[in-house]
Amino acid sequence: MTTMPLWDYGSLSCFKNFKSIFQDATVNRLEINANTCQSFSPIDLPLLENTSEECKVKEVQMRVVRLGSGTHTVRSHGATVAKTHMHDWLMVVLLVVIEVILYLTPPFYRYVGKDMMTDLRYPLLDNTVPAWAVPMYAVLLPVVIFLVVYYRRRDVYDLHHAILAGLLFSILVTAVITDSIKNAVGRPRPDFFWRCFPDGKDVYDHLGNVICHGEKSIIKEGHKSFPSGHTSCSFAGLGFLSLYLSGKLKAFDCKGHVAKLCIVFLPILAACLVAISRVDDYWHHWQDVFAGGLLGLVVATFCYLQFFPPPYHPQGWGPYAYFQELESRASAQTDATVNPLNAWPMDSHVENQGDDKNGFLGLNLAGDLTTTVEDVESGRR
């Protein structure tokens, strides 16, 4: 019986060790939950480039769990987050000051002739939705929901950005724009006649303009019809809440759960009812509430996208800062864990979002997962 030369045994041993190392490295890098996608062997490496976007997103979600999601509490990261956004908080204070100044500034007293009074003789009624109630449902209600989400996820980034963007920037920016337009336009309210002439006796000057003899504060308020402040602030706060819920519930995950959409539409419905009440109370014309609703919803959308990916995006359930923190932790792990094959970091590398050129962090997270796999094929970093 012919025996195999010693050099053949050595070759087989080296090949076996090399194959074992290569398989271990590949498995560590390409392990994907069998319930979501599939498992890949080294033979499948050239096909990984064509992996579906959903599978890539699933791998990112596995890495999130592996890195320890939900550990960013107010105690551990609160001071750091607040310090990072110090300038944003200073801007919030500035917006509050500007809003107070605008509220105290008298509006433009537009010419109101006798022939214009036909559309301004509606009765002077009380507000169905008083001014003090607006902060309750547009600010406090979202805060309660944000706190519930924080209690479940322990993510201070989500809590901080939801409050900063939704309850402060969204509301304050909308209020500043609304009051600026109110003062500049000076459109009379539908009940202006009774504000100007509470006794029902109208008086006009030689130019035909009104000579009001009612209370100055009521007359001043009567020149602030366009746009509706109740409506704009309602859509700013509740519109942001609707966007926030759609991201957290993954309402646009292509699974067709109508129940999620019903929950998302509830805040918008509440804002619409507030807008309708302003017309029913004869405090606003229909154009006022339409413009106010559009303004509030647009501002809320811009503020939301400043801190969160779009609700329809696979990473729309978390803020940008949350993924950036995971990225920094993953980078620290890659420095500590080295692949014995070519001295590569074991974990997948995700580019720093400070150099993000595609806009949304979630897009890059999903798109860069194949970078290190391509390096495995080519034999370079």
In this structure, what DSSP letter does residue 352 have?
-
Neighbouring CB atoms inside 10 A of 198's CB total: 15
**SS3 string of 173-232?**
HHHHHHHHHHHHHCCCCCCHHHHHCCCCCCCECCCCCECCCCCHHHHHHHCCCCCCHHHH
Residue 5 three-state SS:
coil
Asked if 240 and 250 touch (Cβ cutoff 8 Å), the reply is no
Asked if 235 and 173 touch (Cβ cutoff 8 Å), the reply is no
The catalytically annotated residue of 160, 161, 230, 285 is: 230
Does residue 349 have an active-site annotation?
no
At residue 128, what are phi and psi to the nearest 5 degrees?
Answer: -65, -40
Q: Which of 362, 371, 283, 374 is nearest to 60 (CA)?
A: 362
Does residue 284 have an active-site annotation?
yes
Can you name the residues that pair with 345 across neighbouring β-strands?
338
Residues in CB range of 113: below 8 A, 6 or more apart: 204, 208, 209, 210
73 is written with which tokens?
């509490």
* Rounded Cα gap, residues 191 and 200, in angstroms: 12
In this structure, what DSSP letter does residue 40 have?
-
- The CA-based angle 17-23-26, given to 5 degrees, is 140
At residue 72, what are phi and psi to the nearest 5 degrees?
Answer: -100, 85
CA atoms within 13 A on the CB side of 104: 6
Q: Determine what percent of the chain falls in helix, strand and coil, rounding each to the nearest 5.
A: 65, 0, 35
The catalytically annotated residue of 72, 160, 223, 284 is: 284
* Rounded Cα gap, residues 147 and 126, in angstroms: 34
In this structure, what DSSP letter does residue 155 have?
B
Asked if 62 and 32 touch (Cβ cutoff 8 Å), the reply is yes
Q: Which residues are catalytic?
A: 230, 284
